[in-house]
Amino acid sequence: MEKVSDYFGSMVFDDRIMRARLSGKVYESLSKTITEGKTLDISVANAVAEAMKNWAVENGATHFTHWFQPLTGITAEKHDSFISKSPDGAVIMEFSGKELIQGEPDASSFPSGGLRATFEARGYTAWDPTSYAFIKGKTLYIPTAFCSYGGQVLDKKTPLLRSMEALSREAIRILRLFGRTEAKRVVSSVGPEQEYFLVTREMYDKRPDLRFTGRTLFGARPPKGQELDDHYFGAIKPAVAAFMEDLNKELWKVGILAKTEHNEVAPAQHELAPIYTTTNVATDHNQLTMDIMKSVAAKHGLVCLLHEKPFAGVNGSGKHNNWSISTDDGHNLLSPGDTPYENAQFLLFLCAVIKAVDDYQDLLRISVATAGNDHRLGANEAPPAVISIFLGDELNGILEALEEEKEYLGVKKTVMKLGVDVLPRFNRDTTDRNRTSPFAFTGNKFEFRMVGSSDSIACANIMLNSSVADTLRIYADTLEKADDFEATLHTLIVETIKAHKRIIFNGNGYDDAWIHEATEKRGLMNYRTTADCIPHLMDEKNVEMLTRMKVYTPEELRSRRDIILENYTKTILIEANTMVDMARTQIAPAIEDYLSSVAKAAKAKMAVVPTLKCGYEKKIIEDLSLLLDEITTKLDSLEAEIVTVRGVEDIIKQSELVRDVLIPLMSELRLPCDKAEMLTERSYWPFPVYADLLFGVK
């Protein structure tokens, strides 16, 4: 029987393979490039390329690709074969250091947000040696960054790497102040939990809305949904278990540490969670996980839905971004620790996160903004669009005691000052779990629960890393000048708590009263939609911070604002057009056919018994006829507004029109269609209904 240990990482050119196949000198040079950012010499690159090619060919690869993450939200790849012509007419397998380090895909059709003209086709991909190459199918995949001919960043990996560098740089300054000299780097780590739905391919193919948009645009609620909570952590169905088994095997082959799998709350919804790894690698792994999920599902006659809200009336899907920061020698900086000295350091890093989240709550909301996620945020299964931090009773009590300079009556009775000798110890696991909080502390990490299931986690972690780095910069500037380190440290933490305690909320985030308190009393931001929040990316404070941390240039930020808004409007326009097509060519004719059959039935009955009133048939005809008229009216209005929206050139105004006019009209059209579904005999309805979709996988 094949063991997991026999094939785990078998398709990854990882450290084990590099140690075995590279000379000591080449391996040492490459290691310094990976761990210290040293420049890679071309002779070393050639040696690595040769070893990588030989390993890939031995494992069945015939092609290689520079795998990158453009601003489309998905990954991109162009495959080239290893073959070259030899003088005798045969072919040889070649791969050079130059080909490894740099590729040149056509960049003309990728989003740039005005950074470059369409006719400027040249783009470059650059190897990221911090993320291992891997084999998928017959191709060697080389993770890369992507930029234009002029050097403008056109991907998500490059800003993420920049943000990680900024966080490391500023965190090391803080550690040095605490006498920690052994750490050379600080890295952010992530474990992204991935939620998804599975439906049968047969039913998926019959739903144009699923095929074109990834979600159902019509659909009445089934008699049973998630009311009984019986699907959550329930027994896994055989077809789903078989899918999960194959999925795990494919993920493990490429070194993805898939750890946990279970049924989620909604029928047909499931979750996969990996073990933590560095943020850059975790981002690559999550993009690869989503791709493999879809391909494995197809082999099982299933379709994996990654849309944030594929079905109305049941939970949508998120991606919980469990984020922490650690030193390169293994110390988690968000772990309270066992000694007072570590506690003082922990409290400073904790306060840095609190301040960063409060100061840049808009950037965190922006980082998860998509048309799909707008359906989910604020619903009953997801945190609200208002950002807040959950700390739990113990940490909250400690911060309150520090703020008020009073005795802390928790784990140990003592005066809460930051003098090393008197600071109390407290437990590592200091919190319960608050599933309603957007940003919850869970022992030695923060769980950012607002990320959408189809999103790249790069965006959220760019903003987290950058904002915390900037706060640490402020702290380091202050502490490095201090005459009395402990007194200044104490003041810094107390002032942070007083200034930013409004962002801390340990209650029920689903409660409407909290939203009122957050916005009216605490002054927190509540950007409900993508159109509301994205323009604030260009707010002066945000541009200043992100450019100061060297994560983005102002031009790169402006391009991303425009790209996100353009994607938002295009997504909704595609959905609106799909609704129009389905309602006009499928739903309305189906209602007409059923009305005709009911009228014929009534006529036939009355021909036999003239005194019959046919109340049942008349009621159906009356109700469906009224609904059909309403559908026609709503269709006409929606079509007219689609034309209007397309005619608006200003991207911000266009997104506002989509938000204020188009989306409400889409909801108005859906309502009579869903009512008609409930009145129409099932065999006449043109596509599978919710009961079939949600309970169709056995």
> DSSP letter string over 354-421?
HHHHHHTHHHHHHHT--HHHHHHTTSTTS--SS--EE--HHHHHHHHHHHHT-EE-SSS-EE----TT
Structural domains for the chain: 4-154 (3.10.20.70), 163-552 (3.30.590.10), 566-694 (1.20.120.1560)
Contact 410, 392 (CB under 8 A): no
H runs (alpha helix) in 435-503: 458-480, 485-500
* Cβ 665 vs Cβ 641: under 8 Å: yes
Helix axes 458-480, 340-359, angle to 10 degrees: 120
C-alpha neighbours within 13 Å on the C-beta side of residue 681: 12
Distance (Å, whole) CA 542 – CA 544? 5
CA distances from 589 to 247, 458, 584, 669, 685 (A): 41, 45, 7, 16, 10
Cross-strand partners of 197: 269, 305
pLDDT at 384: 87
Q: Name beta bridge partners: 141.
A: 65, 134
- What does the pLDDT read at residue 36? 75
Go through 72-86 and write b for each residue having 16 or more CB atoms within 10 A of its CB, e for each that does not.
ebebbbeeeebeeee
3-class DSSP state for residue 126? strand
Hunting for tokens 């890679």 — which residue is that? 40
Contact present, 113 and 568 (Cβ < 8 Å): no
pLDDT for the residue 511: 84
Helix (H, G, I), strand (E, B) or coil at 199: strand
Report DSSP state, residue 109. T
C-alpha–C-alpha distance, residues 150 and 147, integer Å: 8
Among candidate residues 197, 535, 244, 508, the one with its CA nearest the CA of residue 372: 197
Supply the pLDDT for residue 5. Answer: 86
Q: Provide the H-helix boundaries in 528-587.
A: 530-533, 540-548, 554-582
Nearest Cα neighbor of 598 from 571, 618, 626, 612 is 618
Per-block mean pLDDT, blocks of 10 residues, the chain (698 long): 87 95 93 80 91 95 93 88 73 80 71 58 81 96 85 89 97 96 95 97 98 98 90 93 97 96 95 95 97 98 97 95 95 79 85 98 97 83 87 86 75 44 47 74 93 96 98 98 94 95 91 92 95 97 98 95 96 98 98 96 87 89 97 97 96 97 98 98 97 95
Select from 220, 221, 218 the least CA-distant residue to 209. Answer: 218
pLDDT at 449: 94
Calpha distance 552→376 (Å, rounded): 28
| One-letter amino acid for residue 35 of the chain | T
Task: Check if the beta carbon of residue 143 is closer than 8 Å to that of residue 125.
Answer: no
What pTM value is reported for the model? 0.92
CA distance 325 to 468: 10
209 closest CA partner among 297, 293, 312, 316 = 312
